Amino acid sequence: MKANFVLLLTTIFASVATGSKHQLEEPHKAKMKNISPKPFGRTVHVYKNEDGTIHVRKQNTKQLLDGFMNHLKTFVNDTHFDVYEFEDTIDIFGTLLADIESSAANQSNMTTVLDSLTFVNLVYQRLLYAVDSLRAYDIKNSPPHRLIYNAIELNVRLLLMYDINGDLDRTIPDASSKVRFLWRCTYYWRMCFETLKNVSPAMRSLFEDQIEKAEDMLAFFDTFFLNMDK
């Protein structure tokens, strides 16, 4: 299933032009102070216990990828993707991902994490491609712009419903209900867009393209749910 989704993912946003409150530091452990100077993305974490002793914990690449993906997920909720907050941290995320890739290259079990590394990198790149277009179409008093914005944003939200293995993130509560709701959103947005007058062919084409990509991903989720029930 993952291979099929990665193929689908490579088409998402294909036609799209290319101080944060989200803290990237790993949460402090109880009764431990993290004294390592480098933020999330490091492979070694050094903590100083209250009694003065030092505790060292090493993360493998899979754990780093899990953390990276989970931090990406902090920019989405049930209704929107916080593109402006994400944009403020693009450079940080780029550095973190480069650190993870370097860490993976130095591990003997590189082949076991290569697929996950490729998948996470692909998700991150799709988010980068979406940023400029979301900014361009963030015109609230223009119905066609807003509907295109909704469609592009939906694709981002769907991407971040996956884990690092390209499977549905099973920690998402009531995921099937959310998918059904998003299907209804695409249907409603289609109806709204069809009623708009004086919309350029290019904008209609972009909207249709983004909605179709979102529907492809939703259909993939439906298949995942069916396989879970077997």
pLDDT at 22: 34
Label the pairing between strands 32-34 and 54-58: unpaired
**CA-CA distance, 67 to 62, in Å (whole number)?**
9
Report the run of H or E that residue 108 belongs to, with start and end. Answer: none
Intervals of the chain under pLDDT 70: 1-59, 106-112, 229-230
**CA-CA distance, 37 to 25, in Å (whole number)?**
10
Structure confidence by residue, pLDDT tens digits, 22-38: 333 333 333 333 333 33
**CA-CA distance, 45 to 19, in Å (whole number)?**
23
Which residue range is the domain that position 180 belongs to?
Answer: 2-225
Q: How many CB atoms lie within 10 A of CB 200?
A: 9
Report yes or no on 230 lying in a domain.
no
What total number of domains does the chain contain?
1
Report yes or no on 171 lying in a domain.
yes
pLDDT at 181: 96
pLDDT at 104: 76
Task: Give the start-end residues of each E strand in 7-165.
Answer: 32-34, 44-49, 54-58
Amino acid identity, position 208: E
